[in-house]
Amino acid sequence: MATVMRMPEVLANTGEAIIQTWLVSVGQEISIGDPIAEIETEKAVVEYAAEVDGVLARLIAEPGATIAVGEPIALVAEPGETVDDIGMGARDPESGARVIEKVADGAVAAPPQRSVPTNGHRLFATPLVRKIAREKGIDLLSVTGSGPGGRIVRRDLDRLSANETATAPAPAVKAERPEQAADFVDIPLTGMRKAIARRLTESKTTVPHFYVTADCRVDALLELRRTVNEAGTTKVSVNDFVLKAVAGALMEVPEANAIWNGDSMRRFGTADIAVAVAVEGGLLTPVLRGVDRLPISAIAAKVADLASRAREGKIKQQELEGGSFSVSNLGMYGVTEFSAILNPPHSGILAVGGAVQKPVVVEGALAVGTVMTVMLSADHRVIDGAVAAQWMAAFVRRIENPLTILI
């Protein structure tokens, strides 16, 4: 008996996702663990691996379609089973129970447990259709389903909305218009923008932030960077040195290398650091693993790879998870100082400004030096003021004595 493959819960608190690309075709043999589709979530594209062995018999979800978690996306036939045999039914891969789902016209009828009793009538509709109907105020009793067995599918709601728009009377035109009408456009929210809004609002309103600021002399670091780039094949940036200095400070002050865990604090033995990357329509924070153990050239290469794939939409979900600390650098935009919002569950984020020439005092005399201002945002549930100050001192010491970063 065939197996129904359903949209997985690829990201916590996500009720729906999009099939971006199918990596397999109908008739192809698949094995457990084989990547079969790329699924787009709010923040990343995730490869979905097959959960059963067999032959792909039918693709239900079309690329670009938004599918609710738990909804059918494909059918996998057992060895020797034909597509014609599948009409008899299929089984759920998790429970093993038989699911009576007649295959017709490239779709799968909703199972009985997904029906909605309403005033003595039993409606068949997916969770996504019911969600859209609630949001648009549509009474599903007034909708005629075009899916198998009278199932109400999304195109029925779209067609209903289009008909209502076409038959709706034209709004009355006001005789008077304001002298200066506002010029604006409402831009629909993307999944990424919704995720950023939700997570950072939660962070700012539920996590007790406090801030520590320091100025770093970077003349020696800039000279060392110039020497390293002249001698090596991999070009390194100031931010690569910053990441290595952050990792060293976390190793020196391990109390800062921790996250809030509800009823405990989780302290890490390595420095996994998230790097803020601006992408079209938002921001991603891929995590660089084991920065404390990486040479500066490897950090430069890995950061470049993560940033490139983030901007191309090819970052993996697991590359956005983990770590205890983040770095956000706006120096390349001419920003000299800013504060950053913590990226949950991280307990620290370092906001890095651009290096600028300023008056400095050297052995009692006024001079000109290149100064970089950094601001640490810390979670006070995990990091106390004294710990933050110790961490900042360890970071500044490495930046101002950059040879220690390379040792």
pLDDT digits (tens, 9 = 90+) for 236-259: 999 999 999 999 999 999 999 999
Q: Which residue has the higher pLDDT, 125 or 378?
A: 378
Q: Where are the alpha helices (DSSP H) in 186-295?
A: 191-206, 219-231, 238-252
Q: 42-51, 57-66, 355-364: lowest mean pLDDT where?
A: 42-51
User: Which CATH number applies to 208-406?
Assistant: 3.30.559.10
More confident residue, 195 or 265: 265
The yes/no answer on whether domain 2-108 falls in CATH 3.40.50.150 is no
Residue labelled with tokens 């700012």: 204
pLDDT of residue 271: 97
* Cα–Cα distance, 65 to 21 (Å, whole number): 10
pLDDT on residue 213: 98
Tokens describing residue 177: 């218009």
For residue 217, name the pLDDT band (cuts at 50, 70, 90).
Answer: very high
Confidence of residue 372 (pLDDT cuts 50, 70, 90): very high
60 φ, ψ to 5°? -90, -45
* Kind plus residue range of the DSSP H or E element containing 372: strand 365-379
Superfamily name with CATH number, domain 115-163: E3-binding domain (4.10.320.10)
Which DSSP symbol is given to 166?
H
Residue range 99-146, pLDDT digits in tens: 434 333 334 433 333 444 544 455 666 656 776 787 778 888 788 877
What CA–CA distance (Å, rounded) separates 228 from 214?
A: 26
More confident residue, 42 or 152: 152
Answer yes or no: are the C-beta atoms of 238 and 224 closer than 8 Å.
no
- Enter the DSSP assignment of 167: H
Averaged pLDDT for residues 39-44: 74
Q: CATH 4.10.320.10 residue ranges in the chain?
A: 115-163
Query: Residues of CATH 2.40.50.100 domain(s) within the chain?
Result: 2-108
Contact 75, 86 (CB under 8 A): yes
Residue pair 328/350 in contact (Cβ under 8 Å)? The answer is: yes
Give the pairing type, strands 16-22 and 35-40.
antiparallel
Which residue out of 121, 209, 346, 380 is catalytically annotated?
A: 380
Give SS3 for 142: helix
Domain with CATH 3.30.559.10 in the chain: 208-406
Cβ proximity of 73 and 6 under 8 Å:
yes
Q: Using the 8-state DSSP alphabet, how is residue 74 labeled?
A: E
As a whole number, mean pLDDT of residues 35-41 equals 83
Structure-token pair, residue 28: 């192809």
Q: Which of 205, 275, 154, 198 is nearest to 42 (CA)?
A: 198
pLDDT, position 347:
97
Q: In whole angstroms, how far apart are CA 161 and each of 154, 199, 350? A: 11, 32, 48
Give residue 317's pLDDT: 80
Q: Identify the three-state secondary structure at position 26.
A: coil
Query: How far apart, in whole angstroms, are the C-alpha atoms of residue 243 and residue 363?
Result: 30
Hunting for tokens 């950059």 — which residue is that? Answer: 402
CB 7 within 8 A of CB 18: no
The answer on pLDDT for 84 being more than 70 is no
Q: Are 101 and 60 in contact (CB under 8 A)?
A: no
- The pLDDT score that the predictor gives to residue 107 is 40
Give the Cα separation of 36 and 27 in Å (integer). 13
H or E, element range at 302: helix 296-311
- Could you tell me the pLDDT band of residue 154, with boundaries at 50, 70 and 90? confident
- CA dihedral of residues 281, 196, 286, 51 (deg, nearest 10): -100
- Mean pLDDT score, 299-306: 96
The predicted-structure confidence for 259-278, as pLDDT tens digits, reads as follows: 999 899 999 999 999 999 99
Residue 346 is a catalytic residue: no
66 has which bridge partners? 18
In the chain, the N- to C-terminal Cα span, in Å, equals 61
> Which residue matches tokens 């079209």?
280
* CA 9 – CA 15 distance, rounded (Å): 7
